[in-house]
Chain A
C-alpha cells in the first residue's frame, strides 16, 4: 500500500463543474502539499498546509489531520484547469512523498 493515495486517478468534467480530488496518507506528516503539473511538464506548488483550510482564487484545499485526509476543490472549473494534480506529504526531515497524481480534464 502506498503511503500517499489519491483518488480518482482520472477525472473528466464539464466546464463550470465543481471538482474534488482526494488524498489519503498513512504516515505522520509535517505538512501536505498540492502540486499542479501542466501538459508541458512544469510543476507548480498550489498549497502547503498542515491544518484547516486554504483558499486561492477558485482553488480550496482542506486537511483533516485526525483522519489523515486532504481534499483539493476547484470551483467553476475551466479547461485551463486541465492538468495533473499531485498530493505530496512532508515526512522525516525535508523528504516529500508523492501520490500518483490525478489527471483532470475539463471540457468546454
Chain B
C-alpha cells in the first residue's frame, strides 16, 4: 500500500485565495484525521471522520475552514479565504477501524504558506 497520500506537498498562495488540501487514506481504513502543525502550537487535531461522517470538528479554527469526505477514499480540507496565520503543515492520518486504541498512519503533510 502507498500509505496515506496528500496533495499538494507544498502550496504557496496569496492572502484571500481559496486553498484546497487533499487526502487519500489507506484503503480499508475508516477513520480519517486532519491535523495542523505550527511552531507556536505544535500539532492540533482539526477534525476527524468515521465512515465518512464528521465526528469531532471542534478543532476547526473558524468558519473559513471546512472539510469533507465524500467517500471512503478521499477527503478535502478547504480554507476560504486564506490568511497568513493559516501558514502551517497540514497532516492527514488514517486508522484501520473506528476503535479508539489503534495507531494512526500519517501522510507526508502539505506545507502551506499564505503570503
Residues of A within 8 A of B (CB): 30-31, 33, 35, 41-45, 48, 50, 86, 88, 90, 93-101
CB distance from A37 to the nearest CB of B (A): 9
How large, as a class, is the contact surface on chain B? 20 to 34
| Residues of B bordering A, CB below 8 Å | 31, 33, 42-45, 48, 50, 55-56, 89, 91, 93, 95, 98, 100-106, 108-109, 111
Listed by A's residue number, 28 A-B pairs whose Cβ atoms lie within 8 Å are: A31-B100, A33-B103, A33-B104, A35-B106, A41-B89, A41-B109, A42-B106, A43-B106, A43-B109, A45-B106, A48-B101, A48-B102, A86-B43, A93-B55, A94-B33, A94-B48, A94-B56, A94-B95, A94-B100, A95-B45, A95-B48, A95-B56, A96-B104, A97-B45, A98-B42, A98-B43, A98-B44, A99-B42
> How many A-B contacts at CB < 8 Å in the complex?
57
For A96, give the chain B residue with the smallest CB separation.
Answer: B45
Q: Are B103 and A45 in contact (CB under 8 A)?
A: yes
- Given known pairs A50-B101, A93-B100, A95-B56, the reply for A100 and B42 (CB within 8 Å) is yes
